[in-house]
Amino acid sequence: MAEWYLAYGSNMNPQRMNARGIAFSQALAGQLQGFKLCFDKRASGKTGVGYANIRYQPGSVVEGVLYRLHKPGDIVLMDPFEGNPYRYSREVFVANSELGSINCWVYIANRALLAPQLLPEKLYLEHLLKGQPWLSDGYFEMLARQRSIDNSEAGAQTALNGLTHNV
């Protein structure tokens, strides 16, 4: 069982991990070779809003934060926040780090929930930017330039659609 979790989305923010009650003893920069970050996982009840996901793409790299979980079994504490097994599935991948190759848990969006041309909400993207200490300058700049939806616009769309639930 893997004792590490690689966050590439909003959980790159250590404060978010703490708020969710996920204890970790170490945080390192981690990279998944052959994958690309995308925001193609549809948000429940928010038109046009997408959450982070990864997809296979040779030659690409996804950067994130590798957290060493307090106990290896603690990954199940993350499942409700990620909607495992319905919204995201949990898989073991090998990430590169300063400690070498590390087996880690990674969440991947359910294909049935993917859609093209989605954008993250601004506040959601800000969580990803909190991962800056573990990201390369180029990757951080790519995230900082990512187009996003103002949260009030997403909220207005949700209200217009008559939907009241969030992910």
Check which CATH number belongs to the domain holding 137 and give it: 3.10.490.10
Question: Which of the four pLDDT bands, split at 50, 70 and 90, describes residue 166?
Answer: very low
Question: Which of the four pLDDT bands, split at 50, 70 and 90, describes residue 72?
Answer: confident
Q: Rounded mean pLDDT of 138-150?
A: 97
Residue 84 forms part of a structural domain: yes
Note whether 108 and 91 are within 8 A (CB). Answer: yes
| Domain range for 53 | 4-160
Residue 17 forms part of a structural domain: yes
d(CA 54, CA 150) in angstroms, rounded, equals 23
Residue 167 forms part of a structural domain: no
Question: Which of the four pLDDT bands, split at 50, 70 and 90, describes residue 154?
Answer: low
Mean pLDDT for the chain overall: 91
pLDDT digits (tens, 9 = 90+) for 105-121: 999 999 999 999 999 99
Question: Which of the four pLDDT bands, split at 50, 70 and 90, describes residue 165?
Answer: very low
Q: Is the pLDDT of residue 46 over 50?
A: yes
What tokens were used for 132?
Answer: 């800056």
d(CA 51, CA 62) in angstroms, rounded, equals 15
Torsion of CA 55, 65, 20, 166, to 10 degrees: -30
Question: Which of the four pLDDT bands, split at 50, 70 and 90, describes residue 153?
Answer: low
Residue 54 forms part of a structural domain: yes
Residue 35 forms part of a structural domain: yes
Residue 141 forms part of a structural domain: yes
Residue 118 forms part of a structural domain: yes
Residue, of 157 and 27, whose pLDDT is higher: 27
Question: Which of the four pLDDT bands, split at 50, 70 and 90, describes residue 162?
Answer: very low
Give CA separation, 46 vs 94, 150, 159, in Å.
Answer: 33, 12, 9
- How many domains would you assign to the chain? 1
d(CA 110, CA 108) in angstroms, rounded, equals 7
Residue 165 forms part of a structural domain: no
| pTM greater than 0.75 (yes/no) | yes
Write down the pLDDT at residue 23: 94
